[in-house]
Amino acid sequence: MIETERLYLREMTEGDFPALYTVLGDSDIMQHYPYTFDESRVRGWIAKNRERYRDFGFGLWAVVLKETGGVIGDCGLTMQNINGSIKPEIGYHIAKAHQRHGYAKEAARAVRDWAFRNTPFRALYSYMKTANAASSATAKANGMTLTDTFTDSEGESTSVYAITRSEWNKMGV
């Protein structure tokens, strides 16, 4: 479990289905994703992340508000194909009611710090549709800089942000 000032990040469980369905099934939240999740996809999402925990020791974790104990989204580290290369990527989805409160930034920072302390990765990435200004702002707030832009499989512009271990070390975190 990862702890921040206001959040816990922990492994997802089947019991998180209702909260994650609220997030991943919301077409506004998922507007920059290839699709909005139905019930089956959310169950698969949970199962896939549980498989990642077993295989890699990390995945997307449930983001839990300390104040209420409620799951407000997910955030974590996954291995993603980013413009033809498999890279460690920090991803996040936060429920609409909890957006614009700094939770994605807080969770992503915690994942960044955890990853550099617990993995051998020399760089971490976040990628998103270029039109996804909120996700880009979260990446920038976590010390990432724009390193690439490419046209994805849906024909849309995608931005790639990265931070290296040496850049992170200079931050004195």
Does residue 165 have a pLDDT over 90?
yes
The Cα–Cα gap between 162 and 118 comes to 18
Mean per-residue pLDDT, 22-39? 83
HEC profile for 35-79?
CCCCHHHHHHHHHHHHHHHHHHCCCEEEEEECCCCCEEEEEEEEE
Mean per-residue pLDDT, 121-126? 98
Does residue 35 have a pLDDT over 80?
no
pLDDT per residue as tens digits for the range 63-122: 999 999 999 999 999 999 999 999 999 999 999 999 899 999 999 999 999 999 999 999
Lowest mean pLDDT among 8-12, 34-38, 52-56, 167-171: 34-38
pLDDT at 48: 96
Mean per-residue pLDDT, 133-147? 94
Domain count within the chain: 1
**CA separation (Å) from 153 to 84, 129, 136?**
11, 11, 19
Does residue 19 have a pLDDT over 90?
yes
CB 110 within 8 A of CB 118: no
Mean per-residue pLDDT, 134-152? 94
Whole-model pTM above 0.85? yes
Query: What value does the mean pLDDT of the chain take?
Result: 94
Does residue 33 have a pLDDT over 90?
no
Give the residue numbers spanning the domain of 113. 2-170
The Cα–Cα gap between 77 and 151 comes to 23
pLDDT at 113: 97
Does residue 30 have a pLDDT over 80?
no
Other CB atoms within 10 A of residue 39 CB: 11
CATH code of residue 88: 3.40.630.30
